[in-house]
A and B are shown apart, each in its own frame.
Chain A
Amino acid sequence: MQPLADELAVGDMLRQNGVSRRRFIKYCTGVASAMALPPWMGPAMAQQLQNAPRPSVIYLSFQECTGCFESFTRSFSPTMESLIFNVISLDYDDTLMAAAGEQAESALAKAMHDNYGKYVLIIDGSVPTGAGGGYCTSGGKSAVDTLREAAQGAAAIVCVGTCSSFGGIPFADPNPTDAWPVSAIVANKPIINVSGCPPIPEVITGTLLQYVTTGKVPDLDEHLRPKAFFGTTIHDRCYRRSFYDQGKFAKTFDDEGARNGWCLYELGCKGPTTYNACATTKWNGGTSFPIESGHGCIGCSEPGFWDKGSLYSPLSATDWGKAGESSPRQVLELAAGGIVAGAALGVVSAGSGRLRQYRSEHPLDIDAEEG
């Protein structure tokens, strides 16, 4: 009798779905190349997965817009990315699953119980803690409680998107729901942050595949992002770099410079301080990325990017917090304040200077005084 789908090894699962070994090796080779892994890892990944039982993956969505999930599923070549769903056993995902209500919740509980200590927990969305966690609830339970419970049995946590990685838009000033990233709530578990608003589909699936096949967390940067995708800045790989170096900048959208494809620095491009794979891996299967389409990078994979000043003010401009870029008026006020205070101090200094002048010109008077 054919073993149940849940019990099939990955290789058998693929074969059942008509995916030949060659097709799978080719897919893994592509992923390894995209992740700049050594080329032998492609076939090694395929080999590893061949006999591996499909790891259980639980996908929990909290305070999110679902853009990250859309990116995840909105793969360019559906056959390739949908393989992920054959390679893993996606045991819970509230957007995709057919079950609802109590059936869905019991599926979650069962998946967590049956695979305790071994499942991969994918999170998108930030976690609100305000109002006792009441700003995001599902089935009567708050997101923060659900996260804490699910994290206990997870082998690793993959945060998809800037919201779960760094707090994202809910975390931005004034953060009315008291939202936090996953890493602020969960400790003692390996966390991989796949940030971006949203992240590139291939970055999500590539990271997931690498973790699932090697069982090891990939090399991470100080923000826990995989260095394979987040190791270089957009600026480092930007095809418009020569224009930056020459000082040829577009001044406004759709001006002469913009139409000639000049650097978008003056229009607020945050490429130099943003780490992501947009300039190399690009979007929509390598079609384009924001800069190539004429809009500066907004820095969406960086922590706190919503609060780092206007998206359209250049990196060298000031960044005075809430107001974003400073206004000449603010500068004037600051200068005026300084001048007034300086003048006051100057009066005091000049006063003592004048006293000295007087004393030096009337030495006899002083003697007489003291006399």
Chain B
Amino acid sequence: MDLLHFARGLGLQIAIAIFCLGVTWRIASFALLRIRREYSRPRESILKYMLGGLITVGSRSWPHREFIGRTGAGEALGYSYHLGLFAVVLLFTPHILFLQSLFGFGWRGLPSSVITILSVITLTLFLAVLFRRVTNKVMRLLSNFDDYFSWFITMLVMATGLAATAHVGGPYETLLALHILSVDVLLIWFPFGKLMHAFYIFPSRAINGALLARKGATS
């Protein structure tokens, strides 16, 4: 069984299964915990503070005015590469066809040359992000294996994808196999590292926002 066949076949099946298993496990392990009883008097009605929670999910996406000076650059960098990643993953026709084979429906993509430009920009931003993490003293102190590996595996997916489309660095089927294999590894790693923020941000912000709203505050 050659590498490409494995990557797209059994490898992918294992990755999807582990991804679903891992995500469910991690979400269930906090969702099934007992909610700590709040002893303070609610300042707002239930409906109001639940709404507050929902609003927080959105409002946390923009930094407070006071902090923009210090965090603005990092946030802009982060948003940019997230947008780039989403565009490349969801709007590149071969990817759309892949998702179509998984889910049964597809959509129109962008011209491939545009996607290539976006990928190169995103990859550059990614390198900038690592540079920042390594040169900033505080960040360097705080960074652990999770941070570096999550960065590495996402970067590998992008780099192998670019290499495959450009047909550079080896025979095409090997490049494609490496790209799909790195996606498999990403899917397997996803639930066990900081990439879970993709799922966590929603309950995290909502719960914090709701609790604070219950106390009559905003965050």
Contact = CB atoms under 8 A, between A and B. Distances in A.
Contacts of B34: 354, 357
17 contacts: A235-B167, A247-B109, A248-B111, A272-B172, A273-B173, A314-B97, A317-B98, A334-B16, A341-B24, A346-B28, A346-B31, A346-B32, A347-B32, A350-B30, A353-B29, A353-B30, A357-B33
Contacts of A334: 13, 16-17, 20
Contacts of B113: 245-247
Contacts of A116: none
Of the candidates B8, B34, B173, the one having the most CB atoms from chain A within 10 angstroms of its own CB is: B8
A350 B34 CA distance: 9
Counting chain A residues whose Cβ lies within 8 A of the other chain, the interface size class is 35 or more
B81 to A, nearest CB: 22
Given A247-B110, A328-B103, 7 more contacts: A235-B172, A245-B112, A265-B93, A319-B5, A334-B17, A338-B24, A342-B20
Interface in A295-343: 304, 308, 313-321, 325-328, 331, 334-339, 341-343
Contacts of B36: 357
Interface of A: 233, 235-236, 244-249, 265-266, 272-273, 304, 308, 313-321, 325-328, 331, 334-339, 341-343, 345-347, 349-351, 353-354, 357
A317 B100 contact: yes
B12 A244 contact: no
Interface in B101-137: 101-104, 109-115
B28 A343 contact: yes
B169 interface: no
Contact of A266 (B13, B93, B95, B103): B93
* Chain A interface, DSSP helix/strand/loop, else mixed: helix
A315 B111 CA distance: 18
* Chain B interface, DSSP helix/strand/loop, else mixed: helix
A13 B24 CA distance: 78
Contacts of B13: 320, 334
Given A342-B20, A346-B27, A319 B8 contact: yes
Given A244-B112, A350-B32, A357-B33, A339 B20 contact: yes
A315 B20 contact: no
B55 interface: no
Of the candidates A248, A315, A337, the one having the most CB atoms from chain B within 10 angstroms of its own CB is: A315
B24 A342 contact: yes
Of the candidates A313, A345, A354, the one having the most CB atoms from chain B within 10 angstroms of its own CB is: A345
Of the candidates A349, A351, A357, the one having the most CB atoms from chain B within 10 angstroms of its own CB is: A349
Contacts of B97: 265-266, 314, 316-317
B207 interface: no
Given A236-B167, A328-B104, A342-B24, A247 B112 contact: yes
Contacts of B23: 342
A358 to B, nearest CB: 8
Contacts of B20: 334-339, 342
